[in-house]
Amino acid sequence: MSTLTETRSFALESLDWDHLHFYVGNAKQAAHFYTTAFGFTPFAYAGPETGVRDRASYALEQGEIRIVLTSPLGPHGPIADWVRLHGDGIADVALRVDDARGALEAVRAGGATVLGEAHEERDEHGTVTYAAVASYGDTQHTFVQRNGYRGVFLPHFVPLTVTVSTPHPVGLLHVDHVVGNVGWGEMDTWVDYYKKAFGFGQLISFDDKDISTEYTALKSKVVSDARHRVKFPINEPAEGRKKSQIEEFLDFFHGPGVQHVAIATNDIIATVRALRANGVQLLDAPPSYYDALSERVGGINESVEVLRELGILVDRDDLGYMLQIFTKPLQDRPTLFFELIQRKGSLSFGKGNFKALFVAIEEEQAKRGTL
Ligand code: FE2
């Protein structure tokens, strides 16, 4: 007979990203944006034409990343409620498992809040098993057990035959981490939730001494599965002289939620050139950042001048270095954004860049009058 711990680690051993489910006001237009700006390819659709009455969903892919954009088709129901309150954002960080029932029982035994019992959906291409658990705010995790499902994406989805627009892939490979912003004093609650329910370990933590500027501050801890496939940094605001960017997020999002998704590339210079050519707005680093760069991170293979031109940041840890850049918010509310990241050995999340980054974010915040 297996112990609870063995059951938990076994059922959650296969954990990986499945898809990111965005709830948005206008999925058709959002699909166009993520295609033309970020180079995703729309490949599947579900809606009234496929037997789903209350919503329209577009599934897009690039590399191993799959995002789903869903809009409600009327004013009522949980998706319409979610979008009215939070604006466009990520409602579900769906995780692939080999055994959704086992995963659900494991996280339930560890104290997770179950939102949806394990159930199957089937069509002529096979069967998918789902279960759902709560995360921070109105965010959830759906466990997706695909059982070798042979359809284009998931039951009810059909191949998208009408091209939404022409994709220009920019070299996005896979999700590196998904960051949540939670309320004052709630970071440890959610770190413990992932430790106890998901069996995650804590990778790293920053406090407000690491991550503060004259005006803003935050605390952050990172939890991860044993294989380091699924990484969840959790941020909470800390006291500063003016309003923290985490508080600004909480105000506009109306509660905790996904702040950013970091997406890996193996050529960040080419990716950023392509994104800028596609009209994606990225945060600029303060010019002074590059004057001190070589001193701070030592030798790197990239030209500092090229990094300066593109606004790419660099950080180093014991294992190597990493390059990263952040987009501006992806919608009008200053909430969700993307990070592009290229790891060259480093497992860091860019602690050394937080301060430089915050200066840039605060310049944007000041323009909105919310600092
Ligand atoms: Fe990040």
Break the chain into its structural domains and give their ranges.
10-159, 172-368
Cα 194 to Cα 200: distance, rounded to the nearest angstrom: 6
Average pLDDT along the chain: 90
**Other Cβ atoms within 10 Å of 245 Cβ, number:** 26
Of the listed ranges 38-47, 122-131, 253-262, 282-291, the least confidently predicted one is 282-291
- Tell me whether strands 257-264 and 174-181 are parallel, antiparallel or unpaired: antiparallel
Question: Which tokens sit at 58?
Answer: 């577009």
Domain 172-368 sits in CATH at: 3.10.180.10
61 CA → ligand 1 middle, Å: 21
Cα–Cα distances in angstroms (integers) from residue 95 to residues 17, 178, 265, in the given order: 5, 12, 21
> Shortest CA distance to 310 belongs to which of 345, 342, 275?
275
CA–centroid distance, residue 117 to ligand 1 (Å):
31
Span from the CA of 206 to the centroid of ligand 1 (angstroms): 13
Q: What percent of the chain has pLDDT over 90?
A: 73
Instruction: Indicate whether 268 pLDDT > 60.
Output: yes
Ligand 1 centroid to residue 261 C-alpha, Å = 7
Q: For residue 1, what pLDDT is reported? A: 39
What pTM did the predictor assign? 0.92
Residue 5 pLDDT more than 60? no
Cα(301) to centroid(ligand 1), Å: 22
Judged by average pLDDT, the poorest of 112-116, 293-297, 309-313 is 293-297
The CA 205 to ligand 1 mean position distance, Å, reads: 13
Report the separation in Å between the CA atom of 318 and the middle of ligand 1, taken as the mean of its atom positions: 18
51 Ramachandran zone, left/alpha/beta (phi>0; psi -120 to 50): left
Please state which of the ranges 8-17, 173-182, 196-205, 312-321 shows the lowest mean pLDDT. 8-17
The predicted pLDDT at position 195 comes to 96
Q: Which pLDDT belongs to residue 2?
A: 40
CA of 337 to the centre of ligand 1 (A): 10
CA 257 from centroid of its chain's CA atoms:
10
Q: In angstroms, what is the span from residue 260 Cα to ligand 1's centroid?
A: 7
Look-up: residue for tokens 């940094």? Answer: 233
Identify the pLDDT of residue 6: 46
In the reported structure, the alpha carbon of residue 349 is separated from the centroid of ligand 1 by a whole-number distance in angstroms of 6
Determine the 3-state secondary structure of 122 from DSSP: strand
* CA distances from residue 45 to 48, 154, 160, 257 in whole angstroms, order as listed: 10, 10, 6, 26
Q: Please determine whether the domains at 10-159 and 172-368 fall in the same fold group of CATH.
A: yes
Ligand 1: centre distance to CA 84 (Å)? 27
Ligand 1 geometric centre to CA of 98 (Å): 27
Topology of domain 10-159, CATH: 2,3-Dihydroxybiphenyl 1,2-Dioxygenase; domain 1 (3.10.180)
Cα of 59 from ligand 1 centre, angstroms: 24
Residue with tokens 């994406």: 153
- Ligand 1 centroid–CA 339 distance in Å is 6
Least confident of 108-122, 221-235, 347-361: 347-361
CA 325–ligand 1 middle distance (angstroms)? 9
Residue 212 has pLDDT above 60, yes or no: no
Does 165 have pLDDT greater than 60?
Answer: yes
**What pLDDT shows up at residue 209?**
56
* Residue 297 φ then ψ, to 5°: -110, -5
Arithmetic mean of pLDDT, 259-278: 97
Q: What percent of the chain has pLDDT over 70?
A: 90
